[in-house]
Structure 1
Amino acid sequence: MRRLNLTPRADWQAKAEQVGFVWHSAGATYWDESAAYVFSLAEIEDDLEPAAAELHQMCLALVDDAVGDEALMSRLAIPGENWDFVAESWRRREPSLYGRFDFAYGAGGKPRLYEYNADTPTSAFEAATFQWLWLEDMLASGALPPGTDQFNTLFDDLRDRFAQIFPDGGFMQFASDAEAVEDRQTVRFFEDLASQAGLETAFVAMRDIGLNAEGQFVDGDGFVLKAAFKLYPWEDMLRERYAPNLRGAAVRWLEPPWKAVLSNKAILPLLWKRHEGHPNLLPAFFEDDPAAASLGGRYVRKPLFSREGANIEVHGAGLSEPVVDEGYGAEGWIRQAYEPPPQFDGRYPVVGAWIVGDKPAGIGVREDASPVTKNNARFIPHIISTE
């Protein structure tokens, strides 16, 4: 794995906006094609792809354990009144669309799991579509040698997964914050995929979803939700005023409720306890576990729930950058061994490995100026070297 400096396309901003990628520079540079990360085929086929596939299966086994164990459900900060709702979703094997593992990777080592974005992972559009369009342009212009490839079947796999989940088509509503440009455009991307898979779609703002007199979820026009994609995390939904109605409403959610087990950092110590020494895991413990002392004074403190690096604290590594405090941590904390990403030209890349259904489907790379990947990190395209 290496970082290759490149010349950006002169018209890349116009091309981004033409396909709906309007948050490419929102507030700061987000999409950055002045460089690309170069992987060998062996790094993809022998390291990243099998790591994602194996960790996915380990996570599914953890869900199977957790839904039958009240102590684990409590550790996972799932409200007790929703345990049956989550467990029933798993026992029915309600299908999952996608997820993203975030890895430290480089310097000849194995991918090491930082966290699993199992419920509302973002950057799917830029990983699936815009970095592929970038590759096609770079090949057409001769800026990259013929045969240069990407690990990227994400677009086709997501479309096909919608068709697998809904083989008879039907109608599906797509929900997010209507005012957040990135969220809204990301949901448009998924709407388009679902349409290509034969579904009829409509958008509903999360704030406009309500309950009718029968306790069913309805959109702003009063139409009952039967199937819905939501870019809104389960940890919040399970704490909303409408949470008591979730179990009886018969909505087919993407992601399904059992993803509440996997969409928080409590899985990191739980996975480590079950698979201690696994080459793709970092040692991790709940903060109140005496075994956490084995990490010494050099570790990363993470709240069970957070987004974009918020409230993540690096201890004992001499970093001076302040913690981004967004109020996370009320549900608890874990400690994970400190293993920073490799550094290239003063940037720290984290590799996001996508799972669609049960299949590894590609990668996207985000890099930050610090070891903690935050909301101002840049998305950098990647290639597989032909050398």
Structure 2
Amino acid sequence: MKRIAVEPRADWQVTAARYGFRFHSINGEPYWDESAYYAFTLEQIERDIETPTDELHHLAMSLIDDIVASEALMTKLSIPVRYWDWIADSWRNRQPHLYGRMDLVYDGRGPAKLYELNYDTPTSVYEAAFFQWIWLEEQQQRGVLAKHADQYNQLQELLILAFAALGKSLRKPFYFAAVRNSLEDQGTIEYLRDCAVQAGVRGDMVAIEDIGLSTKGTFTALDNKVIGSLFKLYPLEHLFSDTYGPYLPSSGLQLIEPPWKAILSNKGILPLLWQRYPDHPNLLPAFFDAEPDTPLPPGWVRKPLLSREGANVHMTLPDGESISSPGRYTKCPVIRQAFHPLPRFEGGYPLIGSWVVGDTPAGMGIREDATLITRDTSRFVPHAII
């Protein structure tokens, strides 16, 4: 694993505009960063990323039966009681799911370690599936990368196949929804909608703010058309706490991702994995933290169960140094996970996002931050297999 500096394409912003990549910069700074790429060997990808991704995914899935059957575990995950049966039924009926991303720390040598699962509203799929592949092809054409260079990236192909399979069970009409004013979220659902179209599945767009509730308790779009199925790039836990949340279980609405994903997208899955599979080479020791107000011992990290984009993470490094990030999750229950630092490269600290489509490992993207905490402003850096 190497970080290799290269000259960015002079027309990369024009290329991004041509392909609808409107969120390539954040606050005037590049979010998409092709001033370097990470190079891997095929063995590193297959042995250290793809194989552990497959195993970790199936280990996590193996816990769901026990969790939905346990009031104690659902309570530990801070899932509201009124949604327990709905979530359990969605799992027992094996309501279909689309994709997920697990965040891995990997330095090219030791086994990859799981930081967390992003299995409800994972972002950066457009960058990972599409735009970094365009980068690879163009850099090969321009002689920057060798013709035999490759990429761990079957994401788009598998997403199209997954939508083709989903199309057989989706309740019609089907919609894609995200927050209206988020360029990143809107760009993500536009890309996923395009994948669905390529699979022969039609889906309209609606802003999450424009979804209403009919007098019959069904959810509707602006034209008062009842929504049959909804891909929502909007967290399940936010839906639970919204005004219309209590109507979800009886509404007949089919969600993608399904309600049972609330279990896997919760950081409480990490201590449950460690409890079931202690000393697994790809897991870090993790525990529910019953005393979150006490000082954090050196060599540990605190994470809120429901935080996103690195919010409210607190680290105490082995030497006693503390690092923390701000956020909105100040009153959320937390877990404690063993500190295992991201590797340091010239450009910062890379975090590997390893994708699963359905139940199949599908590819990866790399986010790079100037600190040990990967945040929403972290840069996306492409990769290649050399």
TM-score, L = length of structure 1: 0.95
Deviation readout 1:170-210 (Å, 9 max, x if unpaired)? 53101001111111111111111111111222111111111
Cα 1:20–1:321 change in 2 (3 A) is farther
Map residues 2-81 of structure 1 onto 2, 5 A cutoff. Answer: 2-27=2-27, 28-81=29-82
Residues of 2 paired with 1:310 and 1:31: CA distance?
A: 21
Q: What's the counterpart of residue 226 of structure 1?
A: 228
Stretch moving more, 83-92 or 220-229: 220-229
Residues of 2 paired with 1:318 and 1:242: CA distance?
A: 47
Where 2:100 maps in the other structure, the secondary structure is: strand
Matched, 1:240 2:242: yes
Partner amino acid for 2:65? Answer: D
Q: What's the counterpart of residue 175 of structure 1?
A: 177
Where 1:353 maps in the other structure, the secondary structure is: strand
Q: Residue 265 of structure 1 is aligned with which of 246, 264, 267?
A: 267
Contact map agreement 1:177 1:206 (CA 8 A) in 2: yes
Stretch moving more, 142-151 or 317-326: 317-326
TM-score, L = length of structure 2: 0.96
Where 2:4 maps in the other structure, the secondary structure is: strand
Q: Residue 283 of structure 1 is aligned with which of 276, 282, 285?
A: 285
Where 2:363 maps in the other structure, the secondary structure is: strand
Residues of 2 paired with 1:94 and 1:168: CA distance?
A: 9
Contact map agreement 1:305 1:329 (CA 8 A) in 2: no
The CA deviation at 1:138 is 0.6
The CA deviation at 1:249 is 1.3
Residues of 2 paired with 1:186 and 1:370: CA distance?
A: 26
Residues of 2 paired with 1:263 and 1:143: CA distance?
A: 38
For structure 1, the 5+ residue unaligned runs are none
Cα 1:192–1:217 change in 2 (3 A) is same
Q: What's the counterpart of residue 357 of structure 1?
A: 358
Stretch moving more, 299-308 or 130-139: 299-308
Identity over aligned residues, as a percent?
A: 47
RMSD (Å), alpha carbons:
1.8
The CA deviation at 1:29 is 1.6
Stretch moving more, 353-362 or 26-35: 26-35
The CA deviation at 1:319 is 8.4
Q: What's the counterpart of residue 211 of structure 1?
A: 213
Where 1:268 maps in the other structure, the secondary structure is: helix
Deviation readout 1:325-344 (Å, 9 max, x if unpaired)? 22204230111111111111
Where 2:270 maps in the other structure, the secondary structure is: helix
Q: What's the counterpart of residue 105 of structure 1?
A: 106
Map residues 324-335 of structure 1 onto 2, 5 A cutoff. Answer: 324-335=325-336
Contact map agreement 1:171 1:199 (CA 8 A) in 2: no
Deviation readout 1:337-359 (Å, 9 max, x if unpaired)? 11111111151000000000010
Residues of 1 paired with 2:321 and 2:24: CA distance?
A: 28
Residues of 2 paired with 1:346 and 1:167: CA distance?
A: 45
Cα 1:234–1:168 change in 2 (3 A) is closer
Residues of 2 paired with 1:355 and 1:319: CA distance?
A: 36
The CA deviation at 1:268 is 0.8
Residues of 2 paired with 1:322 and 1:338: CA distance?
A: 12
Residues of 2 paired with 1:240 and 1:65: CA distance?
A: 28
The CA deviation at 1:318 is 5.8
Contact map agreement 1:284 1:334 (CA 8 A) in 2: yes
Deviation readout 1:32-71 (Å, 9 max, x if unpaired)? 0010001110111111001111111111111111000000
Contact map agreement 1:107 1:342 (CA 8 A) in 2: no
Cα 1:85–1:360 change in 2 (3 A) is same
Matched, 1:184 2:212: no
Contact map agreement 1:304 1:329 (CA 8 A) in 2: no
Contact map agreement 1:149 1:383 (CA 8 A) in 2: yes
For structure 2, the 5+ residue unaligned runs are none
Where 2:197 maps in the other structure, the secondary structure is: helix
Map residues 143-154 of structure 1 onto 2, 5 A cutoff. Answer: 143-154=144-155
The CA deviation at 1:320 is 6.9
The CA deviation at 1:168 is 7.5
The CA deviation at 1:324 is 2.9
Contact map agreement 1:104 1:113 (CA 8 A) in 2: yes
Residues of 2 paired with 1:329 and 1:279: CA distance?
A: 31
Residues of 2 paired with 1:336 and 1:111: CA distance?
A: 15
Contact map agreement 2:6 2:36 (CA 8 A) in 1: yes
Contact map agreement 2:44 2:108 (CA 8 A) in 1: no
Residues of 1 paired with 2:225 and 2:374: CA distance?
A: 40
Partner amino acid for 2:10? Answer: A
Residues of 2 paired with 1:62 and 1:153: CA distance?
A: 27
Where 2:202 maps in the other structure, the secondary structure is: strand
